[in-house]
Amino acid sequence: MAKHWLLLTLALGWSSAMSFAGLGSFHDHALANPLLYGRAVPPPLCNSTEISTMNMGSCVCREQQFGCSSPPMNCSVCPNSKGEFLTAFKNVTTCLGGCTDREASCQGCGLWFHSLCDCLKNPQWCNKTSGPIKKDTGPIWVLLSQPGAKENLTTTNERVSGILDTYEKPKFFDEGWEFSQSCYKPQEQALAMNSVRVRTHEQIHTHICKRNDAMYNFLGAENPNHYNSEDLTLVSNYPNNDGKGTDILCLVVKNGDPVKNFASALGQLFAKYPNTCQQRIGQAILQDKYKNTWACATNTTNGPLGLFCGK
């Protein structure tokens, strides 16, 4: 079957082959050719269930998509001081629950249907994982490091949109943050997970970025003894520099050890600040020059990347 598909693709070109499968407009010559008709059906595109179960032996991954064919969503963020819900525009058609098959042609699900799919299908691009890439086993964490990509990310085949999915069942997501810490270089990089408000992909992912030197210097000057390794504590010295008043709240782990409870700590933060705008919360990890590892939540308008990632 794979051979037939290759030959068909070579003979007709991709778009005709797609039409043949009924996925595009129909071409008469495909029907008229008895050799092709009813035989070489191209492999289907991987669906969400196949990706989340790593059951991908007979499907192919989508190319990158742009925009979204169905009307994109305005996802509600949180009420402003007048009680009006604000919205964040997304290239997806559902705001909660991760990527569904109906969103396969949406840019905001490209991380799931294209990047993660490619990674699971091509282990040479996906050679750092928290477990084997094997169908119907439990979910794993993976490092997405496609050759030529301008940034590496970590993600998982557990289908969840992002940060607010992590704290109610924190074990798996605490492990995800640990996995991410095994993928970055703390001497020069930081980790960051965007808020609901600013993220552009609706599949959980952590950015591995060059660290922000201003934050590196700022945290290096903080006294770690004013913090603990369990709870996110308000950094009272942090300048509210986006003009609207924003907070960062951190826990710290000493001696270069990994943070093991970052998703759990987010749940404790929400319990302590029940009125916080959850859709503005982002999370990030950065190690200072004394090898203290700072794990922080932010509620800045533009998310944590601008604060923890540099250029």
- 147 scored as a contact of ligand NAG (CB under 6 A): yes
Stretch of residues binding ligand NAG (CB under 6 A), selected from 5-13, 131-139, 146-154, 174-182: 146-154
Residue 297: both structure tokens together: 């939540």
Q: Tell me, what amino acid is at 200?
A: T
| Options 13, 24, 44, 97; binder of ligand NAG; rule CB under 6 A | 44
- 165 scored as a contact of ligand NAG (CB under 6 A): no
- 79 scored as a contact of ligand NAG (CB under 6 A): no
Stretch of residues binding ligand NAG (CB under 6 A), selected from 29-37, 41-49, 156-164, 252-260: 41-49
* Residue number, 101 or 231, with CB nearest to ligand NAG: 101
- 101 scored as a contact of ligand NAG (CB under 6 A): yes
- 47 scored as a contact of ligand NAG (CB under 6 A): yes
Which is nearest to 179 in space by CA: 141, 147, 206, 149? 141
Select the residue whose beta carbon is closest to ligand NAG and give its number: 276
What is the C-alpha to C-alpha distance for residues 30 and 158, in angstroms, rounded to an integer?
A: 39
| Options 17, 42, 50, 251; binder of ligand NAG; rule CB under 6 A | 50
- 125 scored as a contact of ligand NAG (CB under 6 A): yes
Query: How many alpha carbons fall within 13 Å on the CB side of residue 176?
Result: 33
* Residue number, 9 or 276, with CB nearest to ligand NAG: 276
Chain position carrying tokens 């993600």: 155
* Residue number, 146 or 220, with CB nearest to ligand NAG: 146
* Residue number, 166 or 300, with CB nearest to ligand NAG: 300
Tell me the number of residues near ligand NAG by CB under 6 A: 29
Angle formed at CA 110 by CA 167 and CA 2, multiple of 5 degrees: 120
| Options 91, 130, 156, 203; binder of ligand NAG; rule CB under 6 A | 91
Query: How many alpha carbons fall within 13 Å on the CB side of residue 110?
Result: 13
Stretch of residues binding ligand NAG (CB under 6 A), selected from 66-74, 163-171, 217-225, 251-259: 66-74
Query: How many alpha carbons fall within 13 Å on the CB side of residue 286?
Result: 31
What is the C-alpha to C-alpha distance for residues 118 and 122, in angstroms, rounded to an integer?
A: 6
We find the least distance from the C-beta atom of residue 24 to ligand NAG, in angstroms, to be 19
Distances, alpha carbon 129 to alpha carbons 24, 141, 183, 209, 244, in Å: 36, 6, 10, 19, 40
Q: Tell me, what amino acid is at 271?
A: A
Stretch of residues binding ligand NAG (CB under 6 A), selected from 9-17, 123-131, 133-141, 158-166: 123-131
> For the purposes of burial, counting CB atoms within 10 Å of the CB of 83, is it exposed (0-12), middle (13-18) or buried (19 or more)?
exposed
**DSSP H stretches of helix in 13-143:** 14-20, 28-32, 48-52, 110, 117-121
We find the least distance from the C-beta atom of residue 235 to ligand NAG, in angstroms, to be 11
What is the C-alpha to C-alpha distance for residues 86 and 125, in angstroms, rounded to an integer?
A: 39
We find the least distance from the C-beta atom of residue 34 to ligand NAG, in angstroms, to be 26
What is the C-alpha to C-alpha distance for residues 119 and 235, in angstroms, rounded to an integer?
A: 38
> Residue 309: helix, strand or coil by DSSP?
strand
* Residue number, 26 or 89, with CB nearest to ligand NAG: 89
Applying the rule CB under 6 A, the residues between 219 and 278 that interact with ligand NAG are 244-247, 273, 276
Residues contacting residue 84 through CB under 8 Å, at least 6 positions apart = none
Site residues (vs ligand NAG, CB under 6 A)? 44, 47, 49-50, 66-67, 71, 74, 89-91, 101, 107-108, 124-125, 127, 145, 147, 151-152, 200, 244-247, 273, 276, 299
